[in-house]
């Protein structure tokens, strides 16, 4: 079968991209393929469900621009489609004097990014918003919200199908080559041909890019994040979303408290430790190839040498419930150890460059007929509609304005 475009990856970014391509060129032959038996099986279905406001990201970066725009569009999309979404707001809390400068810098960054409604607040206002939260000062971000991103992805898939696109799950990509007339996609269920290919492969982004002869770097390092939950009779201790002041050296946001839409659950976490498998959601999950790739990557080894103390602390917090509890108690002092019960886990696909730097921005690149989304961690789900436009713009530039195929 020959298509105008094939999108590899049926996560939220791949589906949003397919939707945008069909919106721009109705009637084109488009297919989405994914190796899993269902859409959104990994990062899309294993996240905390937060609609980010755009406060954390460097002004001028793709993340900053696309998160602010994407959040606005996501609220409108969900309201239009009847998807439950709630603009509940969150607080980012400084619990010690040493964090006040970083909190101020974060507030100024949010203002520079155009995040709506930000306020710097003191302890009294903080207690009005979150009565059980302790802190010296905080940022109130009323534009932050919660949603079920699996439900959002399901509606994107409906849009793709209603526009004439196809979605093929259970179809793993094993080869990718250009034969001069088209790109040939070798899958476990036979070959497909396409005038253009867009890969949105998340945890396997680097490997899928390599299939087409794309650049080896950046490499994906999987970081597992485990959550605890508040037991039902302790959920009142967190009304909505409570975050610590993040460490600016890392793209992770620290152990925070997140109310889940629809269920009332409160998740605590995640931490961030090296996963021993790219799809390893349990501590005991091990895939030797994945672990060898991570440990053999020079960029990861440089990262580990630079931040080994932080890594050991994260590892200890991963294994010690008490250590995790102490992180939560910094801003929720009424939480008792027995209030915490085991929760789910997710794996973040984090791109690392050869110097050992964790890439903080989205990365979209490619050549010829193939375009790759190389790095799309949080806030990719929040930004999905806006990020899809950036990817589609890149595809159209390569098409040169011609009708595909």
* pLDDT recorded at residue 253: 72
Mean pLDDT over 306-314 rounds to 86
Element of type H or E holding 200: none
- Residue 252 reports pLDDT greater than 70: no
DSSP for 228-262, written as a single string: EEE-GGGGGG-SSEEEEPPPTTSS---SEEEEPTT
Question: For 339-361, how does the pLDDT look when each residue is reduced to its tens digit (9 = 90+)?
Answer: 999 999 999 999 999 999 989 89
Phi and psi dihedrals of 62, rounded to 5?
-60, -45
Per-residue confidence at 251, pLDDT binned at 50, 70, 90? Answer: low
DSSP for residue 185: E
At residue 221, the 3 state secondary structure works out as strand
Percent of the chain with pLDDT over 90: 89
* pLDDT recorded at residue 397: 86
Nearest to 256 by CA among 52, 93, 120: 93
Instruction: For residue 47, give every residue at least 6 positions away whose Cβ sits within 8 Å of its Cβ, in sequence order, or none.
Output: 149, 346, 378, 381
DSSP for residue 217: P
- Residue 250 reports pLDDT greater than 80: no
Instruction: For residue 159, give every residue at least 6 positions away whose Cβ sits within 8 Å of its Cβ, in sequence order, or none.
Output: 19, 22
Mean pLDDT over 226-235 rounds to 97
* pLDDT recorded at residue 401: 43
- Residue 405 reports pLDDT greater than 90: no
* pLDDT recorded at residue 20: 98
pTM: 0.95
- Residue 322 reports pLDDT greater than 90: yes
**In contact, 168 and 126? CB cutoff 8 Å:** no
CA distance 370 to 233: 52
* pLDDT recorded at residue 402: 46
CA distance 146 to 241: 9
* pLDDT recorded at residue 403: 43
Which of the four CATH numbers 3.40.50.300, 3.50.50.60, 3.40.30.10, 3.40.50.850 does domain 2-45+150-218+360-399 have? 3.50.50.60
DSSP for residue 155: H
Percent of the chain with pLDDT over 70: 97
Q: Two tokens at 266?
A: 């409160």
Q: Where are the domains of the chain?
A: 2-45+150-218+360-399, 221-350
- Residue 398 reports pLDDT greater than 80: no
Question: For 146-169, how does the pLDDT look when each residue is reduced to its tens digit (9 = 90+)?
Answer: 999 999 999 999 999 999 999 999
* pLDDT recorded at residue 399: 58
CA distance 243 to 204: 29
Nearest to 130 by CA among 84, 85, 92: 92
Tell me the CA distances in angstroms from 330 to 106, 133, 134, 212, 230, one per residue in order. 19, 9, 8, 48, 15
Question: For 102-136, how does the pLDDT look when each residue is reduced to its tens digit (9 = 90+)?
Answer: 999 999 999 999 999 999 999 999 999 999 999 99
* Topology classification of domain 221-350: D-Amino Acid Oxidase; Chain A, domain 2 (3.30.9)
């Amino acid at each position: 079968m020959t298509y105008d475009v094939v999108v590899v990856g049926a996560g939220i970014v791949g589906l949003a991209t397919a939707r945008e391509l069909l919106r721009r060129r109705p009637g084109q032959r488009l297919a989405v393929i994914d190796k899993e038996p269902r859409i959104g099986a990994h990062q899309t279905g294993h996240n905390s469900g937060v609609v980010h406001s755009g406060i954390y990201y460097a002004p001028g970066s793709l993340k900053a621009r696309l998160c602010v725009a994407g959040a606005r569009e996501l609220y409108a999309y969900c309201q239009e489609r009847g998807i439950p979404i709630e603009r509940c707001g969150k607080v980012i809390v400084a619990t010690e004097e040493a964090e006040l400068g970083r909190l101020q810098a974060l507030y100024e960054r949010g203002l520079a990014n155009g995040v709506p409604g930000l306020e710097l607040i003191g302890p009294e206002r903080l207690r009005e918003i979150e009565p059980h939260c302790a802190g010296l000062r905080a940022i109130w971000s009323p534009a932050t919200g919660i949603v079920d991103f699996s439900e959002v992805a399901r509606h994107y898939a409906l849009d793709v199908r209603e526009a004439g696109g196809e979605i093929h799950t259970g179809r793993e990509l094993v080869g990718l080559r250009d034969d001069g007339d088209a790109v040939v996609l070798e899958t476990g269920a036979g070959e497909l041909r396409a005038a253009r290919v867009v890969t949105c492969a998340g945890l396997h982004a680097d490997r899928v890019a390599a299939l087409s002869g794309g650049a080896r770097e950046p490499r994906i390092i999987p970081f597992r994040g485990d959550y605890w939950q508040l037991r039902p009779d302790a959920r009142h201790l967190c009304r909505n979303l409570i975050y610590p002041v993040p460490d600016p050296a890392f793209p992770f946001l620290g152990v925070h408290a997140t109310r889940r839409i629809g269920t009332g659950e409160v998740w605590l976490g995640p931490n961030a430790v090296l996963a021993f498998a790219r799809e390893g959601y349990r501590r005991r999950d091990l895939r030797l190839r994945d672990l060898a790739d991570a440990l053999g990557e020079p960029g990861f080894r440089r990262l580990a040498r630079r931040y080994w103390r932080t890594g050991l602390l994260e590892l200890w917090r991963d294994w010690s419930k008490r250590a995790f509890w102490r992180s939560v108690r910094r801003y929720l002092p009424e939480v008792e150890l027995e209030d915490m019960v085991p929760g789910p886990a997710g794996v973040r696909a984090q791109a690392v460059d050869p110097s050992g730097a964790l890439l903080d921005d989205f990365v979209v690149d490619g050549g010829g007929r193939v375009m790759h989304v190389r790095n799309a961690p949080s806030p990719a789900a929040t930004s999905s509609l806006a990020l899809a436009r950036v990817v589609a713009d890149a595809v159209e530039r390569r098409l040169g304005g011609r009708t595909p195929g």
